[in-house]
A and B are shown apart, each in its own frame.
Chain A
Amino acid sequence: MSEPSSQSRFIKPPVIAPGHSFGSITDKISSIVLRKDTPKGWILGFGIAFLFVMGMLYAIGWLLLWGVGVWGLNNPVGWGFDITNFVWWVGIGHAGTLISAILLLLKQEWRTSINRFAEAMTLFAVACAGMFPALHTGRPWFDYWLMPYPNTMGLWPQFRSPLVWDVFAISTYGTVSFLFWYVGLIPDLATLRDRTEHKGLKLVYGLMAMGWRGSAKHWFRYETAYLLLAGLATPLVVSVHTVVSFDFATSVIPGWHTTFFPPYFVAGAIFSGFAMVLTLAIPIRKAYGLEDFITMRHIENMAKVMLATGLIVAYAYVMEVFFAWYSGNTYEKFLSFDTRPNGPFWWAFWALWTCNIAIPQLLWFKKFRTTPWILWILSIIVNIGMWLERFVIIVTSLHRDYLPSSWGMYDPTKYEYMLFFGTIGLFVALLFLFIRSLPLISIFEMRTLLPEASVHHNEEH
């Protein structure tokens, strides 16, 4: 991290706009948090998001009161919006870890300006994701039975079940992501502690900074811990969605029982994660005038990652159909050639191919990669496409499987929509709170990107 910037090796657009000094970076980023007045836009945005959160709480209350029957699930279709949303949110959470950990280890310093809020996004996405498996059970008050806890009956979870693996994967992922994010925040929290004039805030930031004084010893330990955490988090990028894909891959249902789900799901997760980072970064950058820190190079890089992972996903879709044909399996063939493209959910299938395969091909063109508003729309389309992907996998496979006698349909109810949009509201509301109360870009890491950082290395505070 203390390496010189790579401008000498390749001529690349800068990761930070010229003309900034240590002071200006610190001022600029910390002022978003420490300003006295809350911007009207913030209040409006948060207010809208908060309304959605209220809707979510209503939907949850109704669900707990009456049972899962308030959703549109039925006997062939036991999972619908619930698990679709779960997988979608977990996927979104992937970009955070990828940016923080893998790009850190690969010394891609362009990640610096986006990693903080990508990590926050990860945390919030995981929180949203975790809600669905917890609420989708028939008796949510017994969810703790999925945890291995000592009890007098000697009962343990069933370790063969992918749902138990999910519990471990998601909780590990959530914990590591939180630690990574929090540890990364400590030096900035100290900065905020030092700069705020409000006594109460000083105390709060002070407690959260855990006595950070910026000594060489602190820095040494800090960097070791951060690297270790990055090392820990790296396998999680692959493992979490692999485990999630096992929910389906280990089953016997046509459309689920597919051995190549793990890589396909991981690629899809990164695809959707980067789409979500773009969805958030483009407006934030504009609203807070952060174009100097989140530069066009960042935007374009993320678009390139999306293009690459999108191609992997497209390959997977095509292969899925090919395997169905090549296997000669009646049920697989029927699913891929009949149920999905022609069945009652044909619209979801074709919308999925359009959103995830056809439209992202525009990213081959530099113009689309570098025009923020176009890219923003593209990222939303990819988000929708990735949601549809999970919906198609889960619902179309279940609603018409082996025995035609028990085929059914799935009509989501308003409570499912409320819960889904409610979690989006929760996600956005948490992001608003985060932006207002913590530095959304890593101040100290941004400072290291300045040319002065390498020259005046020892003077850094």
Chain B
Amino acid sequence: MAENNKNLDLDTFRNRFDQKVERTHWMSLHELADEESFFASVSEEFPQQAVPLQDGVDRRDFVKLMSSSLALAGLAACTVPPEKIVPYVRQPEDIVPGRPQFFATAMTLGGVATGLLVESHMGRPTKIEGNPDHPGSMGATDVFAQASILGLYDPDRAQTVRHLGNITTWTNFLGALGAELKPLKDAGGEGVAILTEPVTSPTLGSQMKAILAAMPKAQWHQWEPHGRDNVLEGSRLAFGGSFASTWYAFDKADVVVSLDSDFLASGPGSVRYARDFMSKRRIRRGTTAANRFYAVETMPTPTGTSADHRLPLKPSDIESFAFALAGAFGVGPGAKLDAAGDAFLKAMVKDLEAARGRSIVIVGNDQPASVHALAHAINAALGNVGTTVFNSDAPDAVPAIGRESLRQLVADMAAGKVKLLLMVGVNPVFDAPADSGFTAALDKVPFRASLSMYYDETGERCHWHVPQTHYLESWGDARAFDGTAAIVQPLIAPLYNGRDPIELFAILADDANLPYDIVRNYWKSQRPAIVFETAWNKWLRDGVIDGTAYVPKPMTVALGAIAPSMRSGDYEISFRPDPAVWDGRFANNGWLQEMPKPITKLTWDNAALMSPATATKLGLVGDRGLPGEGNERNLHLWSRRAPMVEIKVDNRSLKAAAWVVPGHPDGAITLHTGYGRTRGGSVATPKETAKGGGFNAYTLRTFDGLGYAVATVAMTSGDYQLACTQLHHVMPDEREIVRSGTLEDFVKNPALSAAHEGPHSGEMSLYPKWESETGYAWGLAVDTTVCTGCNGCVIACHAENNIAIVGKPQVLVGRELHWMRIDTYYKGGVSSPAMTVNQPLMCQHCENAPCEPVCPVEATSHSTEGINEMTYNRCVGTRYCANNCPYKVRRFNYFQFSDWDTESLKLMRNPDVTVRSRGVMEKCSMCVQRINAARIDAEREGRRIRDGEIRTACQAACPTQAIVFGDVADPNSLVSKLKAEPHSYRVLEEVNTNPRTSYLGAVRNKNKEIAG
């Protein structure tokens, strides 16, 4: 560096620039000229995220924090960038300061894409929305897409190339790789292995083909801990040896049966499926029919709890159930079920028979291949193929059974056959099966490199680690669940000097092109006959490449003899991807970590989830803290401490905190994966503990037991704090907070309620009715029938409104800041609740808001359009408003929760929403910034705001369109129509708060032949 500073002549620079032609994106000349000093300056500028503030801050930490924040404040305030900066002479054509732009792109999870529209403020992506034109999104998103914006700006992402842990350069890496690769390449690629996630990107696939053509002896392996091995194998079993892609049309299905599938909330196409599925159960005035949904599953999921009938079964029993179901249609060997299961099956089969060609049997990823094969046979037998179920040859690059692929790789590594290993976007040291011996075998590879977003467990065991770009920083392409391809276009140059896989593979394939050109060239080669430039621009703009969807192909089921796996035991451990951190890849995402998980409402941890009866059997109930029969009163005790259980699978054991879940089958325990990280960022593994939250389920997972394992379980000593945001309990008395009923109830009594026959609140006031000066009166309507509780809205609200996370210790105290939460209520018994109702609850925007008159400084007031507004800079923080809120939706900044210091997070924030300080109250504003943006547009065009023009962040994200915002003063608006529905009600109407938010009662289409 010293040398660089001395010799800053033009020639040196020019030489350096010329040496670095392989660079694709760059941010500044500095970076090009002198990478090391740039890294140093970058790491100075983006220090590790400050540890969340906790109760016990000692003097040293305080002084450190103070001095660093002072230093940062100084930096931010008075430093002129070292580069020469040039003001706009002429404003760029498309950019109007203050007005966001939207770009289409796509995010993949498990190789399957969801199309997105990303909001960009002056070049900074700030918010993810779904792409309405993309078949996998239809305008909505899941939690992972919503939270990915935080992933982009995560200051903990790997920021430099590392060699043996030391900071080095990309050039050095290329040099080392080239030297190592050359002799291997000359030998036809013998000893070269590449490990990726399952690849569905057409461009990457073609690159891999090129690499394998150049190095025929090289090995390409694909591994994902929650891959679709069983799905693929099942299709091979069913269709006589060929892989197939299967997708569904839930909008045409009248009867749906799910065998352990969480198709409404996770997995390929779930966003679209949720939309389609719920389109058949929009209960409105006069509705007498809806689709019917039977779910058979172990862990209660958003999907299963949305079902009309849910049968909780142990994993091994689900397999038996599938065989019995197949037997009923004569396509399988059949199986014996217990009485309850048999009754359930009979009623279900009758419904399925009646809906031939209009039904779907769908199977979850973790079910064995045989069950998938049987489902293909059942769907074929029911005539569903071609109407609701579609199959096609899998045109994926090279589909691989990850389990076999990884096994092969480990064997090769252990045998010393692998000389050079490139791992791309994977973390097998953490997530490979416990019996694979991956880590030990890895150490035998003489040259190993990892390209990933975080310097993680795998990265630290590799010679080289290269930071990977975020999808918002890279060019690429990806296919949706139905094959529709989309171009992944970057919105921002790589923040942290990341590289994308295409760039790395280009080097292996001796392709001198940049990723942008590689993607373009691939698609140019696919569409030789068109005017490419026009089409390309359209694809980028629309976010979909037309005509790329799979073409359904009639495939004949040729089922050989299959038998159940016969693995069962007293305790079966079901391994599931975590609803928040998935397989562990999102462990450093604070929004997801703090998201109350569906059903359990746990944050920051996983747990050994079990039924109340199993907990009782294990002796965990009562004094040991878990709720059960007779100690419901001690709710306050079990909100804090959970007892520990020791789970033994073969000779491996794991101690985990136990937690009770209503509706979980007895004799089974669900463990979510992705927790117990040891390296991967300050959120995934906080510095204080040097260990991530939760319990590492991968330590029990084996190649043969990826779905579930048979185990012995025993209570063990110790306890563990679990941060749960909502306690489970049956409603303590006759309070009517949610309304629910069967479709039959709805037909008889559409109000779904016996009570509340008196005048509606608001009509009992001495005060004059609220008048809007502008004529608009904003309100929300939420349909609880279609809400699955997936949390998409919660994370969307986080992103839109700059909501801070508070950390586990603060969640334990009860200070989480979510502006909206999803309250879950059960109906019926604890072991198998007849109904689970989700109630998304945000500020109700009461017309007689109890919070408003009590504020001594008028920091919360009513807008003329009926919004209960919070004026942050007027708030002194008496918390009186929150105390007086019957809905408890107000959130207080007990500490400085918003991170004011981390520079990268500043870029992420929505510039239209204040970042709050310590000591002020905050809450849902009905996305007032979006209302005002629409108002400006409308006023400029001299018109009223159109119905549907404004979509709140929660509404936009919702896959099932459960949330509708609009003008309640306009009787023709959708929200007004929903409020006029007979089963529309307002929560705590009797308190006379007159809320602007209303709910539609939850309706389930029960089959009378099944009790409960």
Interface residues of A (CB under 8 A from B): 65-70, 72-79, 133, 136-140, 142-143, 145-146, 155-158, 160-164, 167, 247, 250-253, 330-331, 333-334, 338, 342-344, 398, 401-409, 411, 413
- Spot the interface stretch: B452-460, B641-649, B851-859: B851-859
- Spot the interface stretch: B92-100, B506-514, B873-881: B873-881
Alpha-carbon separation in the docked complex, A449 to B883 (Å): 52
Query: How many cross-chain pairs have Cβ atoms below 8 Å apart between A and B?
Result: 186
Contact flag A139-B919 (CB < 8 Å), given A75-B814, A75-B891: yes
State whether A158 touches B636 (Cβ < 8 A).
no
State whether B882 touches A330 (Cβ < 8 A).
no
Q: Which residues of B sit under 8 angstroms from A247, Cβ to Cβ? A: 880
State whether B892 touches A403 (Cβ < 8 A).
no
CB of B209 closer than 8 Å to a CB of A = no
Q: What's the least CB distance linking B707 to chain A, in Å?
A: 33
State whether B856 touches A331 (Cβ < 8 A).
no
Interface residues of B (CB under 8 A from A): 53, 55, 57, 62, 633, 635-636, 639-640, 726-727, 729, 731-735, 737, 810, 813-816, 821, 823-825, 839, 841, 850, 853-858, 874-880, 882-884, 886-888, 890-896, 917-921, 987-988, 991, 993
Contact flag A78-B879 (CB < 8 Å), given A252-B886, A405-B823: yes
State whether A406 touches B920 (Cβ < 8 A).
no
Alpha-carbon separation in the docked complex, A160 to B53 (Å): 36
Q: What's the least CB distance linking A281 to chain B, in Å?
A: 36
Q: What's the least CB distance linking B920 to chain A, in Å?
A: 6
Q: Which residues of A sit under 8 angstroms from B821, Cβ to Cβ? A: 405-406
Q: Which residues of A sit under 8 angstroms from B727, Cβ to Cβ? A: 404, 407
| CB-contact partner of B856 in A69, A74, A161, A338, under 8 A | A161
State whether B896 touches A72 (Cβ < 8 A).
no
Q: What's the least CB distance linking B852 to chain A, in Å?
A: 8
Q: Which chain B residue lies CB-closest to A400?
A: B732
Alpha-carbon separation in the docked complex, A65 to B884 (Å): 27
| CB-contact partner of A146 in B823, B856, B883, under 8 A | B856
State whether A66 touches B888 (Cβ < 8 A).
no
Q: Which chain B residue lies CB-closest to A251?
A: B884
State whether A138 touches B919 (Cβ < 8 A).
yes
Alpha-carbon separation in the docked complex, A331 to B731 (Å): 12
Q: Which residues of A sit under 8 angstroms from B815, Cβ to Cβ? A: 69, 74-75
State whether B895 touches A403 (Cβ < 8 A).
no
Q: Which residues of B sit under 8 angstroms from A401, Cβ to Cβ? A: 886, 888
State whether B857 touches A158 (Cβ < 8 A).
yes
State whether B853 touches A160 (Cβ < 8 A).
yes
Q: Which chain B residue lies CB-closest to A329?
A: B990
Alpha-carbon separation in the docked complex, A408 to B891 (Å): 14
State whether B735 touches A330 (Cβ < 8 A).
yes
Contact flag A252-B732 (CB < 8 Å), given A78-B882, A139-B876: no
Alpha-carbon separation in the docked complex, A76 to B877 (Å): 15
Alpha-carbon separation in the docked complex, A74 to B585 (Å): 31
Alpha-carbon separation in the docked complex, A115 to B536 (Å): 91
Contact flag A138-B841 (CB < 8 Å), given A157-B857, A251-B854, A401-B886: no
Q: Which residues of B sit under 8 angstroms from A70, Cβ to Cβ? A: 55
State whether A145 touches B888 (Cβ < 8 A).
no
Q: Which chain B residue lies CB-closest to A66?
A: B895
Q: Which residues of A sit under 8 angstroms from B737, Cβ to Cβ? A: 402-404
Alpha-carbon separation in the docked complex, A455 to B117 (Å): 98
Q: Which chain B residue lies CB-closest to A415?
A: B55
9 pairs of residues in contact across A and B, judged by CB atoms under 8 Å: A138-B878, A138-B892, A146-B857, A252-B991, A401-B886, A404-B731, A405-B821, A405-B825, A405-B839
Alpha-carbon separation in the docked complex, A136 to B880 (Å): 11
Alpha-carbon separation in the docked complex, A79 to B633 (Å): 24
Q: What's the least CB distance linking A166 to chain B, in Å?
A: 8
Tell me if A's interface is mostly helix, strand, loop or mixed: loop
Closest 10 A/B residue pairs (Cβ): A138-B877, A138-B919, A69-B894, A74-B814, A78-B879, A405-B823, A406-B888, A344-B636, A163-B856, A139-B919
State whether B823 touches A163 (Cβ < 8 A).
no
Q: Which residues of B sit under 8 angstroms from A69, Cβ to Cβ? A: 53, 55, 810, 815, 894-895, 918
Q: Which chain B residue lies CB-closest to A74?
A: B814
Q: Which residues of B sit under 8 angstroms from A407, Cβ to Cβ? A: 635, 727
State whether B53 touches A161 (Cβ < 8 A).
no
State whether B878 touches A163 (Cβ < 8 A).
yes
State whether B894 touches A163 (Cβ < 8 A).
no
Q: Which residues of A sit under 8 angstroms from B639, Cβ to Cβ? A: 409
State whether A67 touches B853 (Cβ < 8 A).
no
Q: What's the least CB distance linking A256 to chain B, in Å?
A: 8
| CB-contact partner of B732 in A138, A161, A338, under 8 A | A338
Alpha-carbon separation in the docked complex, A344 to B824 (Å): 23
Q: Which residues of B sit under 8 angstroms from A167, Cβ to Cβ? A: 856
Residue from A77, A136, A403 with most neighbouring chain B CB atoms (10 Å): A403
State whether A158 touches B884 (Cβ < 8 A).
no
Q: Which residues of A sit under 8 angstroms from B895, Cβ to Cβ? A: 66-67, 69
Contact flag A137-B894 (CB < 8 Å), given A78-B883, A401-B886, A404-B729: no
Q: Which residues of B sit under 8 angstroms from A161, Cβ to Cβ? A: 853-856, 880
| CB-contact partner of B733 in A155, A163, A330, A413, under 8 A | A330
State whether A139 touches B920 (Cβ < 8 A).
yes
State whether B918 touches A75 (Cβ < 8 A).
no
State whether A68 touches B857 (Cβ < 8 A).
no
Q: Which residues of B sit under 8 angstroms from A160, Cβ to Cβ? A: 853-854
State whether A331 touches B875 (Cβ < 8 A).
no
Q: Which residues of A sit under 8 angstroms from B856, Cβ to Cβ? A: 145-146, 157-158, 161, 163-164, 167
Alpha-carbon separation in the docked complex, A142 to B395 (Å): 65
Q: Which residues of B sit under 8 angstroms from A250, Cβ to Cβ? A: 853-854
State whether A252 touches B850 (Cβ < 8 A).
yes
State whether B841 touches A405 (Cβ < 8 A).
yes
| CB-contact partner of B875 in A138, A330, A334, A409, under 8 A | A138
Q: What's the least CB distance linking A134 to chain B, in Å?
A: 10
Q: Which residues of A sit under 8 angstroms from B919, Cβ to Cβ? A: 67-68, 137-139
Alpha-carbon separation in the docked complex, A77 to B883 (Å): 7
State whether A72 touches B855 (Cβ < 8 A).
no
State whether B813 touches A74 (Cβ < 8 A).
yes
State whether A408 touches B814 (Cβ < 8 A).
yes
Given contact pairs A78-B882, A408-B814, a sample of 18 additional A-B residue pairs in the complex whose CB atoms are under 8 Å apart: A69-B810, A69-B815, A75-B882, A76-B814, A77-B814, A138-B878, A139-B919, A155-B874, A161-B853, A161-B856, A163-B854, A250-B854, A338-B732, A338-B733, A343-B633, A344-B636, A402-B737, A403-B888
Q: Which chain A residue lies CB-closest to B921?
A: A138
Contact flag A143-B876 (CB < 8 Å), given A252-B991, A330-B734, A403-B737: yes
Alpha-carbon separation in the docked complex, A403 to B726 (Å): 11
Alpha-carbon separation in the docked complex, A66 to B58 (Å): 12
Alpha-carbon separation in the docked complex, A290 to B310 (Å): 80
| CB-contact partner of A138 in B640, B855, B858, B918, under 8 A | B918
Q: Which chain B residue lies CB-closest to A143?
A: B876
Q: What's the least CB distance linking A161 to chain B, in Å?
A: 4
Alpha-carbon separation in the docked complex, A75 to B819 (Å): 12
State whether A68 touches B887 (Cβ < 8 A).
no
Alpha-carbon separation in the docked complex, A65 to B636 (Å): 31
Contact flag A409-B850 (CB < 8 Å), given A139-B876, A145-B876, A334-B733: no
Q: Which chain B residue lies CB-closest to A162?
A: B854
Alpha-carbon separation in the docked complex, A411 to B814 (Å): 11
Alpha-carbon separation in the docked complex, A430 to B853 (Å): 37
State whether B814 touches A79 (Cβ < 8 A).
no
Q: Which residues of B sit under 8 angstroms from A404, Cβ to Cβ? A: 727, 729, 731-732, 735, 737
Alpha-carbon separation in the docked complex, A74 to B230 (Å): 46
Contact flag A146-B876 (CB < 8 Å), given A68-B894, A252-B993, A408-B814: yes
Alpha-carbon separation in the docked complex, A77 to B892 (Å): 11
Q: What's the least CB distance linking B756 to chain A, in Å?
A: 12
Q: Which residues of B sit under 8 angstroms from A137, Cβ to Cβ? A: 876-878, 919
Alpha-carbon separation in the docked complex, A157 to B821 (Å): 32
Q: What's the least CB distance linking A339 to chain B, in Å?
A: 9
Q: What's the least CB distance linking A426 to chain B, in Å?
A: 23
Q: Which residues of B sit under 8 angstroms from A155, Cβ to Cβ? A: 857-858, 874
Alpha-carbon separation in the docked complex, A247 to B856 (Å): 11
